[in-house]
Amino acid sequence: MTVRNGFLIVYRLKRKISTMLQGWIQIGLTLVLIVAIAPILGGYIARVFLGQKTLLDSILNPLENLLFNLSGIQSNRQVAAPMTGWQYSRAILYSNLAMAVILALIMNFQGILPLNPTGMSAPSWDTILHTTISFITNTDQQHYAGETTLSYFTQTLGLGFMFFVSAATGIAVGIAFIRGLTGRSLGNFYVDLIKSITRILLPISIIGTIALIISGVPETLSAPVVVPTLEDPSISQAIALGPVAHFEFIKQLGENGGGFFAANSAHPLENPNGFSNLLQTLAMISIPTALIFTYGEIANNRKMSWLLFGMVFIIFVGFIIVTGIGEYQGNSLVNAVLGKQSPNFEGKEIRFGWAQTALFSVTTTGTMTGAVNSMFDSLMPSGAFITMSNLFLQIIWGGQGTGTAYLFAYSILAVFVTGLMVGRTPEFLGRKIEKNEVVLTSFLILLIHPIFILIPGAIALAFPDQLAGISNPGFHGLTQVIYEYASAAANNGSGFAGLGNSQPAPTALWWNLSASVSLLGGRYVPIVALLLLADGMSRKQPVAMTTGTLRTDTVLFTSVTAGVILIMGALTFFPVLALGSVAEAFLIARGG
């Protein structure tokens, strides 16, 4: 009996180690692919916006010329003139407003529009308002269930169109910011928007969609299929279908995140297996990581791009490790009941396991995608801490295009802070950092983001019954509320669940309206500030490098930048984290 028990212990230990190693190996291989893809795609994006030759020129040049001519952007083969910061900002605001009106009308009249096999009527006015703002801001925060609320026409032609233009807007802002930092004019928004779609988003989406269809994701206009259940054949169940594959891939590639189904990438028809999960993970992280190398190509400073990539990659890997360990060790209270250590499988899809759940969760909040392959409400406190930290920092890897801009804004702030400490000249890329740059970066990083998170969060927490409809009291409930606004202000869109923010809950009106304010403020105020900052930098005369100039392409400066990022984030948001996920972790550790 003793020998048998010994064999059982050895077998279980071997199986436990095997499961753990398998999970970390999966994560490691995915990270290797990310490192391999980023510089290649980054170089391609740089060639697109530098006007250099690419493999797709023969196919896309005629298409782009047609679009330029039809829209009036190009006349007599001359592309429209570059814009100033204010002109670029106004072009974004006006075009986004026009597209938002079109989407709102589609949703309002979806009951009489085609491709509506289940005869869905229009959602409530506040849901339409919130959804329109959410999708035009590249957030795609959803206070509804897609398969029971929106028709195929609305999902495909309304939301699907927004997937492309909102993502392309972010890429255009990132490229304009890089141009400004390197002393070039910002460019023309409409040209950048079209090229972002035709040269980057559309070609990759076509290939990715085909791959998802092969992996088992449906692409059909058929109505839902009604089938008898296995438990009781007399009871039928409707299985929702739709044109999911193409919707799914641009959702990930464009950092959109809004699911065709309510369960998002945890739904078996959106994300059926490990291969589709890998494709979606690589899709949502490919462009944010690549844009760092795009900067290196445009600025002709590849060393700095590798250093910045390495800095963010190290933080990213550290966040994955913390989240992965927490999910693998599981809940100590549940383990005590089971009598053994078990990964945290609550709210998880077993086909992905703890490792792919941890990787996906950190990646989707780090890239501001917002798609989920598990329920965040079930994450261990360490996972909640990391996902919220991603939303607070916004640079690991950050939003589509805007994340790269935020990263360089932090670098400018680090140059100024370091210059004050050591008496070096505050210069960045050969241009002096002066009052205007310091004010804009401080305003952008230290003020705007917290305002649109903490103020509405405080109001909701002050009236938990009347406004918020919070399902979990105590520390977890606080995390749910703050996460909602952090997700909105960071243009991420993922949710921590547990809030009455979907119709017909009586509190849905509050969440739709208050979150809309955070969505708008978190998107457009930073974009304008970034463009003005880039415009100001582009107008500065370059200064010669001297012995007093602080070099920004060194390991030392990159380490200082990492410290500035983490310290600024901690000073601003750590009290909220301490009262939420940190306190919840201590509560679980002491036995509930």
* CA triple 339-345-346, angle to 5 deg: 105
Cβ(134)–Cβ(365) below 8 Å: no
| pLDDT the model gives residue 495 | 87
Q: How far is CA 284 from CA 137, 239, 493, in A?
A: 17, 27, 14
Q: What is the mean pLDDT of residues 90-109?
A: 95
Residue type, 350: I
Instruction: Read off the pLDDT of residues 8-61 as tens digits, 9 standing for 90 and up.
Output: 555 455 556 667 788 899 999 999 999 999 999 999 999 999 988 888 888 888
Kindly report the pTM of this predicted structure. Answer: 0.92
| pLDDT the model gives residue 538 | 87
In this prediction, residue 156 has a pLDDT band, given cuts at 50, 70 and 90, of very high
Smallest CA-to-CA distance from 91 within 440, 527, 535, 398 is with: 527
Residue showing tokens 């927004």: 162
Instruction: Read off the pLDDT of residues 293-332 as tens digits, 9 standing for 90 and up.
Output: 999 999 888 999 999 999 999 999 999 999 999 999 888 8
If you compute the radius of gyration of the chain from its CA atoms, what whole number of angstroms results?
A: 24
Burial 11-49 (b: 16+ CB within 10 A, else e): eeeeeeeeebeebeebbeebbeebeebbbebbbbbbbbb
Helix (H, G, I), strand (E, B) or coil at 551: coil
Exposed/middle/buried for residue 177 (C-beta within 10 Å: 0-12, 13-18, 19+): buried
Burial 269-303 (b: 16+ CB within 10 A, else e): bbbbeeebbbbbbbbbbbbbbbbbbbbbbbbebbe
pLDDT of 285 above 90: yes
Q: At what angle do helices 449-462 and 508-539 cross, to 10 degrees?
A: 170
Instruction: Read off the pLDDT of residues 505-516 as tens digits, 9 standing for 90 and up.
Output: 778 888 999 999
| pLDDT the model gives residue 592 | 61
Instruction: Read off the pLDDT of residues 64-76 as tens digits, 9 standing for 90 and up.
Output: 888 888 777 764 4
| pLDDT the model gives residue 463 | 80
Q: At what angle do helices 353-366 and 274-299 cross, to 10 degrees?
A: 30
| pLDDT the model gives residue 2 | 62
Choose between 455 and 336: higher pLDDT: 455
Instruction: Read off the pLDDT of residues 181-232 as tens digits, 9 standing for 90 and up.
Output: 888 899 999 999 999 999 999 999 999 999 999 999 999 999 999 888 888 8
Give the largest Cα separation in the chain, rounded: 90
Helix (H) or strand (E) holding 558: helix 555-577
Tokens (6 digits) for 127: 């849901």
What residues contact 41, with CB distance under 8 A and at least 6 apart? Answer: 286, 287, 289, 290, 293
Cβ(530)–Cβ(173) below 8 Å: yes
In 20-124 the beta strands, taken as DSSP E runs, fall at: 74-75, 78-79
Helix (H, G, I), strand (E, B) or coil at 226: strand
Cβ(162)–Cβ(388) below 8 Å: no
* CA triple 484-486-491, angle to 5 deg: 100
| pLDDT the model gives residue 125 | 94
Q: What is the mean pLDDT of residues 416-431?
A: 75
pLDDT averaged over the chain?
88
What residues contact 362, with CB distance under 8 A and at least 6 apart? Answer: 316, 319, 320, 323, 386, 387, 390
Smallest CA-to-CA distance from 494 within 368, 306, 356 is with: 368
Helix (H) or strand (E) holding 428: strand 427-428
Cβ(550)–Cβ(418) below 8 Å: yes
What residues contact 169, with CB distance under 8 A and at least 6 apart? Answer: 92, 95, 96, 138, 193, 401
Q: What is the mean pLDDT of residues 432-449?
A: 81
In this prediction, residue 483 has a pLDDT band, given cuts at 50, 70 and 90, of very high
Instruction: Read off the pLDDT of residues 324-338 as tens digits, 9 standing for 90 and up.
Output: 999 998 888 888 887
Instruction: Read off the pLDDT of residues 354-379 as tens digits, 9 standing for 90 and up.
Output: 999 999 999 999 999 999 999 998 89
| pLDDT the model gives residue 76 | 46
Exposed/middle/buried for residue 529 (C-beta within 10 Å: 0-12, 13-18, 19+): buried
| pLDDT the model gives residue 387 | 94
Cβ(328)–Cβ(354) below 8 Å: yes
pLDDT of 468 above 90: no
Tokens (6 digits) for 455: 């103020």
Q: At what angle do helices 508-539 and 402-422 cross, to 10 degrees?
A: 60
Q: What is the mean pLDDT of residues 256-271?
A: 92
pLDDT of 415 above 70: yes
Cβ(573)–Cβ(479) below 8 Å: no
SS (H, E, C) 268-289: CCCCCCHHHHHHHHHHHHHHHH
pLDDT of 7 above 70: no
Q: What is the mean pLDDT of residues 562-586?
A: 88
Choose between 436 and 446: higher pLDDT: 436
User: Which string of DSSP letters, residue by residue, matches 8-22?
Assistant: HHHHHHHHHHHHHHH
